[in-house]
Structures are given as C-alpha cells and as structure tokens.
Structure 1
Amino acid sequence: MSSLSSSATPRPAVQPVAIPWRELQPWLLFGAVLALVLLYFVGTEQGVFHLIGGSGVHEFVHDGRHLLGFPCH
C-alpha cells in the first residue's frame, strides 16, 4: 500500500491592492465620455440633430434604439 502524503504548506491570504484615485480618474472619465457618445448615437443620431448624413447609423442602431425606448419613427 502506497501512502501519498502531501505536505501542504499554508499560503498567505491574498490581500486586495488599492487602486489610487488619481490612476482611476482618467479611466472613469474615458468610460463616461464613451457612454455619452454611444448614448448620443443610439438616442439622437439621424433624428433632429445629426452629425453623419445618410441612414447608415440609424439602421445600425435601430433595434438598440427601440430596446432602450427611444422613438425613431
């Protein structure tokens, strides 16, 4: 009979690393600007205000527009 004994050594607990606020701010600002741009394209592009002519953007975001409750026609 073979004995397989494993000598497990205790590992130290993993401690979370705090992210400094100054390093987090640019990413939060980037995320907020990106969210506002996406909200603009889904919500108002090809409506009263538009930056890109034609109906390509409208057709691309059409289902998302209805899903989020924006009227488009």
Structure 2
Amino acid sequence: MAHTATPAHSGNLSLPVIPLAELLPWAIFGGLLLILALYFVGAEQGATSLFSGMYVHEFVHDGRHLLGFPCH
C-alpha cells in the first residue's frame, strides 16, 4: 500500500509582492523600537539615564546580563 504525495493544486503558486513604499515605514518603526529596547537594556543607568531611580535598571537587569552588558 504505497501512497504518493501530490500537491493540492497543480497551478502556479505566486507569492504576494509587497511594494517598498508600503514596507519602508514598518521597517523604520521596527528599527526604532529595536534601538529603543537596546538603549533601555544596555545604557539606561548612570549618566545616560532618562528616568531617575533604579526602576528601569532593575526591570531589565537579568536581560542585561543575558545579553552580556555589564552593570555592576
């Protein structure tokens, strides 16, 4: 009882094309979010601190060590 796999349809499969003008704003937004996250994990303490206190530092403390950023 041998069975062979056959495609569900034998027509041409075409992938949707996303125009660069539609993709670019989302790529910029994602890049800015990544840079902001990198700042908070890697540099939000001491002289470069945007927020007073240690709340942000303590919130991202374990992530900071996981990514190799020294903090103490």
TM-score for both structures, normalised by structure 1: 0.80
Alpha-carbon RMSD: 1.6
Change (3 A) 1:13 1:47: farther
Percent identity of the aligned residues?
A: 55
Unmatched 5+ residue regions in structure 1? 1-8
Deviation at 1:10, TM superposition (A): 4.6
Deviation at 1:30, TM superposition (A): 0.2
Distance 1:29 1:38 in 2: 14
Query: Does residue 24 of the first structure (1) align with residue 19 of the second (2)?
Result: no
Distance 2:70 2:32 in 1: 23
Distance 1:48 1:10 in 2: 62
Deviation at 1:15, TM superposition (A): 1.6
Distance 2:39 2:26 in 1: 20
Deviation at 1:63, TM superposition (A): 0.3
Of Structure 1 and Structure 2, the greater helix share is in 2
Change (3 A) 1:50 1:10: closer
